[in-house]
Amino acid sequence: MARLHQNGTSSGWHVQASKLSLMTSNPIREVVENLKLTPNPDKPFITLSIGDPTCFGNFRPSNLTLNAVKDSLRVKESWNYGQTVGNLKARQAVAEYYSARQNSVSANDVVLCSGCSHAIDIVISVIASPGQNILVPRPGYMIHKTIGEGLGIKMKYYDLLPDCNWEVDLEHLENQIDGNSVAIVINNPSNPCGSVYTKDHLREILKIASKYRVPVIADEIYENFVFSGYKYTAMSSLSDDVPIITCSGLTKRFLVPGWRMGWFIIHDKHNVLAKDVRRGLLNMCARILGPNTLIQQALPAILKNTEEDSFNEMMLFIENQAKRACKMLKNAPGLRPIMPQGSMYLMVQIKIEYFPKFTDDFQFIKQLCSQQSILCIPGKCFNYQNFMRIVLTVPENILIEACGRIIVFCKTHFTDVHKII
């Protein structure tokens, strides 16, 4: 008779985790867990690390957005399963939204997903096969790595230039492309850099994509998140021949990250993508039987009531936060904040050579937390050393308090190495 409920290999059980699951990791979660943080109990803990504008309570979705879902709750279509690519009315609403703002899009080119990250997941897993590579920015938001690595897809990094407003190092990008490159990921406006690319710069990138016939995955979840004097341009509006798959969603603009509603849009004017790419994209949607139908039902009303005024107010707030943080942190010896042009983050260089007590930026961030109870995300999470990312959507008084403590911390540990002979 079989022995039941026994552990260990002698039981005859061989349940193992797949290679895919074990190779899948989120660098931010992994690194932050590894920091083993112990904030200073005498100072209230301030986290400048979470890229969720709603988590501090100072930003909330508009009543129009909330009511759109309330009104959908009792509609039968919001309980049913929907089409796996998203329901036609909801896709039409997305197509109209972009047709009015960027360039003409049809509902057939829109696929709804469970958040922007799911859109990126589907696109990458269709476009790339094991052994092939995709080009991703450094520093960059590492969702592509989380998605691609378990699948055996190689990430190749192209550099962004901190001294040129984080523009793409075009020569480096070009040098990274090889015969196995199947997509270039462009994140504009950028997380973590806060850069907003000019039309000319986007055209330069497209020139390279065109030369090597590599499509672009445009992560534009921060579309229109720009400060005064800067303009967001959709990559798709500039491309003639290069297929662009744009990924975005409600998450950041409409302040509802938890609703998990995103999409990708296929821009392929000359139908150069093989027919089976479209088929592959549709096939992948079937894996979760389509996204949330309650939010889909509300989508037309949400996208119609964009409330530009409150959005512009939020952007002005973020811009002022960026200016304030930059101004303050310029007084922190050993740090160099790089003024962003949009999105909701600030990158700060840590000139680690001025902090000989710390072996690396990781130590710096760890000690900043244990002494001053401030948590920033280390550059390592974006594959970039000696930088940290600060989230700008925190309330004003908290940002000021945090920058004040960072200054104290730097003044305490700064050593002018040039004075030591």
Q: How far is the CB of 119 from ligand PLP (least distance, A)?
A: 8
The distance of closest approach from Cβ of residue 248 to ligand PLP in the complex, given in angstroms and rounded to an integer, is: 8
Q: Among residues 145 and 405, whose Cβ is nearest to ligand PLP?
A: 145
> C-beta of 173: minimal distance to ligand PLP in Å?
18
In terms of CB distance, is 118 or 413 closer to ligand PLP? 118
Whose Cβ is closer to ligand PLP: residue 314's or residue 410's?
314
Residue 334 or 379: which CB sits closer to ligand PLP?
A: 379
For residue 348, the minimal CB distance to ligand PLP (Å) is 18
Q: Which is nearer to ligand PLP, 143 or 242 (CB)?
A: 143
Contact residues for ligand PLP (CB under 6 A)?
A: 51, 115-117, 141, 143, 187, 191, 219, 221, 249, 251, 257, 262
Q: Which residues pair with 226 in a beta bridge?
A: 342
| Helix (H), strand (E), coil (C) string for the chain | CCCCCCCCHHHCCCCCCCHHHHCCCCHHHHHHHHCCCCCCCCCCCEECCCCCCCCCCCCCCCHHHHHHHHHHCCCHHHCCCCCCCCCHHHHHHHHHHHHHHCCCCCHHHEEEECCHHHHHHHHHHHHCCCCCEEEEEECCCCHHHHHHHCCCCEEEEEEEEHHHCCEECHHHHHHHCCCCEEEEEEECCCCCCCCCCCHHHHHHHHHHHHHHCCCEEEECCCCCCECCCCCCCCHHHCCCCCCEEEEEECCCCCCCHHHCCEEEEEECCCCCCCHHHHHHHHHHHHHHCCCCHHHHHHHHHHHHCCCHHHHHHHHHHHHHHHHHHHHHHCCCCCEEEECCCECCEEEEEECHHHCCCCCCHHHHHHHHHHHHCEECEEHHHHCCCCEEEEECCCCHHHHHHHHHHHHHHHHHHCCCHHHCC
Nearer to ligand PLP by Cβ, of 115 and 243: the residue is 115
Q: Which is nearer to ligand PLP, 248 or 372 (CB)?
A: 248
- Comparing CA positions, the residue from 292, 262, 239, 233 lying closest to residue 122 is 262
Whole-number Å distance between alpha carbons of 188 and 27: 21
Place of tokens 């119609």: 304
Toward ligand PLP, which CB reaches closer, 243 or 262? 262
Q: Which residue is nearest to ligand PLP (CB)?
A: 115
In the complex, the smallest distance separating the C-beta of residue 141 from ligand PLP, rounded to whole angstroms, is 4
The distance of closest approach from Cβ of residue 190 to ligand PLP in the complex, given in angstroms and rounded to an integer, is 7
Q: How far is Cα 70 from Cα 90, in angstroms, rounded to an integer?
A: 16
Q: State the nearest-atom distance from the C-beta of 115 to ligand PLP, in Å.
A: 3
Q: How far is the CB of 404 from ligand PLP (least distance, A)?
A: 27
In the complex with ligand PLP, the residue whose CB is nearer, 285 or 335, is: 285
- Closest CB 144 distance from ligand PLP, rounded Å: 9
> Minimum CB separation from ligand PLP for residue 265, in Å?
14
Q: Which is nearer to ligand PLP, 173 or 193 (CB)?
A: 193
User: 66-91: buried (b, 16+ CB within 10 Å) or exposed (e) per residue?
Assistant: eebbeebeeeeebeeebbbbbbeebb
